[in-house]
Chains A and B, each alone.
Chain A
């Protein structure tokens, strides 16, 4: 027999999405902390931005259904992520041209 509160697990609420967002945030943070490759750090940043997007859409859905403010904020997050990725890839290519590596620890000099 199923336990009585089994059905409550089937009701997906705000908390479920927030926990998924928290997992995305933490994995992105771990990626940023442990990777030496500049592009790897960028991938971690993308995960963190996605966790922010999940949280915004979840709050929009469960705290203000029918309104679009949270979704518009998510759109701005996506725009900023695209801009950040473009600039960061440009910086990585420049780093590679100057130092022949994208190891962030080897970029120690200013005006390299």
Chain B
């Protein structure tokens, strides 16, 4: 029964992810310019931006907490899906529409599917759970809460000197041009890295011939 439940859940997650991948790219074509326009016309500090930000930030934090609290690996993957999608919307609200699109297509559509495949290939049943000792949970929680308090205190007390501007004038062409002029060496290195990874992953996961 339990493995049937896992199969159902994995299938559900896969269907949701595939539907997301099919629906999002066409929506981006119209959504891209619309988002940039609304951000451009809004005055800084408008209530709409604040409501949007607080809603999405709450969604991100809830999904991230869901990832660390849940013990079932498939649930963790689904919570991670929510967190990645919320981060993509955060990118939209930061007027980085191209990065948001890439986040949805590559991260949500590619990396997360890879993780779900990893889950499917490495677990025989849903009942496999790895227990963590209570002292480990308490210790890790204490360290993390302390670190979060320190980081938040530093960020809030830093007094950043920000520059006024909406940042919505950035076009995809600017990103492309900068990438093949100023950042051409990292760009090529990233290409070589991806090729090495492709060969290496195929080598690691290959079937041994007996």
Q: Which of B90, B106, B118, B158 contacts A92 (CB 8 A)?
A: B118
- B158 nearest CB across to chain A (Å): 8
B76 to chain A, nearest CB (A): 5
Q: Count of B residues near A, CB < 8 Å?
A: 87
Chain A residues closer than 8 Å to B193, beta-carbon distance: 79-80, 83
Measured CA separation A29–B174 after assembly (Å): 34
CB neighbours (8 Å) of B164 from chain A are: 65
Chain B facing A: main interface SS:
helix
Write out the residue numbers on chain A whose beta carbons fall within 8 Å of the beta carbon of B145: 26
Chain B residues with Cβ below 8 Å from A36 are 130-132
Q: How far is the CA of A42 from the CA of B77 in the complex (A)?
A: 10
Across the interface, which residues of A come within 8 angstroms of B208, CB to CB? Answer: 97
- In the complex the two chains form, what is the Cα distance from A26 to B148 in whole Å? 6
A46 nearest CB across to chain B (Å)? 6
Stretch of B5-13, B15-23, B25-33, B60-68 that contacts chain A:
B60-68
Per-position 1/0 for A79-111, Cβ under 8 A of B: 111110111111111111100011100000000
Q: Which residues from 97 to 113 on chain B have a C-beta closer than 8 Å to any C-beta of chain A?
A: 98-99, 102-103, 106-107, 110-111
Partner of A27, one of B65, B91, B107, B158: B65
Known A-B contacts A54-B87, A63-B162, A79-B190; the reply to A71 vs B148 at CB < 8 A is no
> Can you spell out 12 A-B residue pairs with CB atoms less than 8 angstroms apart?
A24-B83, A30-B141, A36-B130, A37-B130, A53-B103, A65-B165, A78-B107, A80-B190, A86-B197, A86-B198, A97-B208, A103-B130
